[in-house]
Amino acid sequence: MPKINIAYFTILFFLFSCYSKAQTENKAASTEETAKGSVFFNTNKADCITLPFGYPEISKRLTVDSVLPVIQNESKLKELNALQFEKAINKDLVLLPEEYDVVLPFSKTVNEKYDRIKIASRFLCSADHSLYFMAVYNTVRYEQPYIEKIYLVSTKRGKLIDMKRIYLNHQGEMGYANYTLFNIDKNHIISLQDYEFTESPFTLKPLQKYQILPSGKLARYYDHDGPYKNEEEQGMVKNHSKEGKWTESKPNGYLDLQKYPDFTDPYTYVEAEYKNGLPAGTWKFYKLLQKYNDETGEPLLNTRKKGPLIYTEMYKEGVLEKREFQ
């Protein structure tokens, strides 16, 4: 369950909050600039994108034959580039919270592998928030750089509130590939669909939806209120958001397997708590004990159970304040 790490949040918070307000009279090129000149934000409302935006009907594309034409659709790629990713960010000032949200071979840190990170001029207006698109370009895979990841960055009065990766086009080794497609509807509900092309050969992950809370935070969105349960999580949904006690069994991108060599995978069983859709109180992370199918290597869900406690996290108003290992 990857999260924004504290160092990353601190650096980007500095970048987004230390800007000059001296450009207001220049309406044709209304931007905000950081003290170090590394990040520019366009504040011209004329450049707000029109919703819906993204890849429509992704929830209905359930087969390889229906997915590949969408991924390879040149007109959609032109729409993404039409966001106008023109303002570069110094890569040494940006620490991204994760690489792909998936385990892949030959992984390198983002600052070693990429040298182009840009903010788009066109952005998403939502009440008193502005949400910007930040692209990470892969410059080593092909002769021409291409957008490998897009993050949606939520800001309020120039300060970073939250961010979420909404797009992925990762070309791996031996023909393996991982994709995330997104759609933002006219109600600002963000739908994300992950696809994996491996030796399986095709895996369709569950569609996930996110909403923009009044605070500017990005939180999971559920279509219906009441008890919720699937293969990974269960709890109560209130006002389309997680509320109260939840249990979650998911891969954990924060877990250092080198530090815990007896663990064969990064799965954890989490006792979590939410308030108005945001993490609250103390979260407890346990090792998730499970067996695997000998032929496919996939986890056997009916064998899952809680193992030893690994660490705890303390949250206040959705912000991680403390992490303690056992």
Look at residue 22 in the predicted model and tell me its pLDDT. 30
* CA–CA dist 9, 320 (Å, integer): 10
Range picked from 30-44, 111-125, 284-298, 301-315 for highest mean pLDDT: 301-315
Q: Transcribe 127-154 into DSSP letters.
A: TTEEEEEEEEEE-SSSSS-EEEEEEEEE
Strands 319-325 and 159-171: unpaired
In the Cβ-directed half-sphere of 135, how many Cα atoms lie within 13 Å? 25
Cα-atom radius of gyration of the chain, to the nearest Å? 20
Residue 48 per-residue DSSP state: B
Give 50's DSSP letter: P
* Alpha-carbon distances, residue 294 vs 87, 205, 225, 299, 300 (angstroms): 49, 21, 38, 10, 10
Higher pLDDT, 110 or 72: 72
Q: What tens digit of pLDDT does each residue of 246-294 get?
A: 999 988 877 666 666 666 677 899 999 999 999 999 999 998 888 888 8
Helix residue spans in 82-204 (DSSP H)? 110-113
The reported pLDDT for the residue numbered 102 is 29
pTM to 2 decimals? 0.79
Single-letter amino acid, residue 138: N
Tally the residues of the chain: 326
Q: Assess whether pLDDT exceeds 60 at residue 156.
A: yes
Q: H-helix or E-strand containing 191?
A: strand 190-197
Q: How confident is the model at residue 205 (pLDDT cuts 50, 70, 90)?
A: confident
